[in-house]
Structure 1
Amino acid sequence: MAKQKKALKTLGKKTRRLRERLNVNIYVLPNLLTTANMFCGFFAIIYTIKGQYLVASYAIVAAAVFDLLDGRVARMTNATSQFGAEYDSLSDIVSFGMAPGILLFHWSLQPFGRLGWLAAFFYLACGGLRLARFNVQKKVINVAYFQGLPIPMAAGIVASSVLAFDDLGLNPERSWGLLAMTFLLGFTMVSNFNYRSFKDIDLKESLPFTYLVMGVFLFAIVALHPEVMLFVLFLTYALLGAIFGILKLGKDSRKALIRGPHHDPELDEDIELLDADWDEETPTNTH
């Protein structure tokens, strides 16, 4: 009996070791994709230093593709891990924080001197803070929304701005608009503004016909002039989140003023009714 227990215990250990080895092999694929993400970010930095800004921009776009794939592959193969999550964040800070920051400085902000590199660093620092906050809030965040502009989207705006300026023949040097955009991207990344993630949409289920129409419409817009329209769409996404976030802050401030310092929860229903009356009385332009 003792020998049988010992044999079963030994078999259990061997089975556990085999399972661990199989898991390691499965984890290799998503981590390879994460490494490819980091490589593209490093590649973008090297080519930014060389002055080949278009190549650097395309490398950042490629990094975003690998970043999208590594998470999907990890979930599909049931290979998610804390190691993978941390490694992904380290890769993201290189590809979507460091690379776009250096690209912005060399491509446009360098003539501003100290203000230029401070703006680029502000972008990088906010990107790092955005990633750190995301890591500690993974279990409590709403899957349908991002809290703050995602750093890959911010990097996409930077990369697409380079492509758009080159396509339109615009001079990016000492551009106050690009300087303001750099600070805006940093601010929106660390803000509490909600940005739609679209992760709650299950493509395996039937969706309203309007989703298909919107998808075809967006595809047609991008195909019309890819370099410019991608920049316009990405920037619109960032600005809309900021605008709706500011409007929500104003609404919350108005509620706080109505409640006063001694808040009575029973008044919440009355406040909601006041909001409804406010919306009905506010004139709207139908033209």
Structure 2
Amino acid sequence: MIKVPRTIVPSFFTIGNMFIGFMAVIYAVRNENVVLSSWLILLCAFLDAMDGRVARFAQASSRFGVEYDSLADVISFGMAPSVLIYLFFFNQWGNVGLFISFFPLLFASIRLARFNVELEGFEKTAFTGLPSPAAAITIASYLIFVNTFFPGEHFPRILLILTILVSVLMVSTIRYEVVPRMTLKGSLGQKLGVLLVVVVVISLLIEPHALLLPYSVLYVLSGMVRFMFRLSQGKRLGGKKA
């Protein structure tokens, strides 16, 4: 019987992430089914979250796993969203639309390369910049929301702002929180974080089409709001010292 090395187990989730991301691109190009492809991106995000948790649970974290995971993420959270927004609307803007559609792929690849270079250890307490899965989920949830509640509409200005915003935030230095571990041990703040995650998951299971976009946008804005608050606090303290 062939024994599978423990360090390879998380890579099965990474391979699944990469394959589903590839499927999202193929379905979008072949069938122009943007909604199905958007749901596939969300599935990629789930698999991406699972590979890290499986690696920690099995004590199988490795440098290879980190590098391979980033390669998969470039496809699922960079290439796939870029192809989707181009086919959904930006192909109507010619070369300008092609350039704008390139943003998620460009900035996701830069972010993931920076993440690998700056990585110290395998435990993350926070993200520097918007995580590429969160950026891709925001774009995918927008496409699902518009196609569900406003079929035939595109709202190009909103899509343009959203695309540029999440792309730039990926390479920013704004801090974003990680999803808390599902345990009731820890501080009151950690317990409230777990409770919030449970509420979000349950509500998404009940009404995913309507709530995915608002929740995604709230997460995107959360880092920006905290950044502005800390910036204002720093200026206030600096003013008092002066």
After TM superposition, the structure 1 = structure 2 runs for residues 166-245 of structure 1, keeping only pairs within 5 Å, are 166-173=147-154, 175-199=156-180, 201=181, 203=183, 205=185, 208=188, 210-211=192-193, 214-215=196-197, 217-219=199-201, 221-223=203-205, 225-245=207-227
SS of 2:146's equivalent in the other structure is helix
Deviation at 1:240, TM superposition (A): 2.2
Distance across 2 between alignment mates of 1:77 and 1:217: 28
Give the AA of the match of 1:176: R
Residue 34 of structure 2 corresponds to which residue in structure 1? 53
Greater RCO (CA < 8 Å, at least 6 residues apart): 2
- Look up the equivalent residue of 1:229 and give its one-letter code: L
Indicate the residue corresponding to 1:27 in structure 2.
7
Length-normalised TM-score, structure 1: 0.74
Partner Cα separation in structure 1 for residue 109 and residue 91 of structure 2: 22
Q: Is the 8 A contact 2:183 2:194 kept in 1?
A: no
Q: Report what 2:68 is aligned to.
A: 87
- Name structure 2 gaps, 5 residues minimum: none
Change (3 A) 1:94 1:215: closer
Distance 1:31 1:239 in 2: 32
Question: How far off its partner does 1:251 sit?
Answer: 4.6
Contact kept, 8 Å, 1:109 with 1:174, in 2: the verdict is: no
Report the Cα offset of residue 215 of structure 1: 4.3
For residues 153 and 220 of structure 2, the distance between their equivalents in structure 1, rounded to whole angstroms, comes to 20
Alignment partner, residue 74 of structure 1? 55
In the alignment, the residues of structure 2 paired with residue 203 and residue 33 of structure 1 have an alpha-carbon distance, to the nearest angstrom, of 23
Q: Distance in 2 between matches of 1:73 and 1:110?
A: 39
Residue-by-residue CA offset, 1:39-67 (whole Å, 9 max, x unaligned): 01100000111201111111111111111
Contact 1:116 1:179 (8 Å CA) reproduced: no
Unaligned runs of 5+ in 1: 1-20, 259-269, 275-287
Q: CA deviation at 1:234?
A: 0.6
Which letter maps to 1:31?
S
Return closer, same or farther for 1:149/1:35 CA change in 2, 3 Å cut-off: same
Distance 1:212 1:74 in 2: 21
* 2:114 paired residue number: 133
Task: Report how many aligned residue pairs link the two structures.
Answer: 238
Does structure 2 retain, via aligned residues, the 8 Å contact 1:36–1:66?
A: yes
Tell me the TM-score normalised to structure 2 length. 0.86
Inter-partner Cα distance in structure 1 for 2:199 and 2:42? 22
Q: Any idea what SS the aligned residue of 1:113 has?
A: helix
- Work out whether residues 111 and 173 of structure 1, in 8 Å CA contact, stay in contact via their aligned partners in 2: no
Corresponding residue number in structure 2 for 1:107: 88
Query: 2:228: which partner in 1?
Result: 246
Give the Cα separation in 1 of the matches to 2:119 and 2:131: 13
State whether residues 91 and 98 of structure 2, in contact with CA within 8 Å, keep that contact through their aligned partners in structure 1.
yes
Which whole-Å CA distance do the structure 1 matches of 2:46 and 2:123 have between them? Answer: 23
CA contact (8 A) 2:125 2:178 kept: yes
Query: Quick one: structure 1 residues 142 and 42, their matched pair in 2 at CA, closer, same or farther if it must change by over 3 Å?
Result: closer
Aligned-pair identity (%) = 32
Aligned pairs (5 A) from 1:154-173: 154-173=135-154
Which region of structure 1 is more displaced relative to structure 2, 181-190 or 211-220? Answer: 211-220
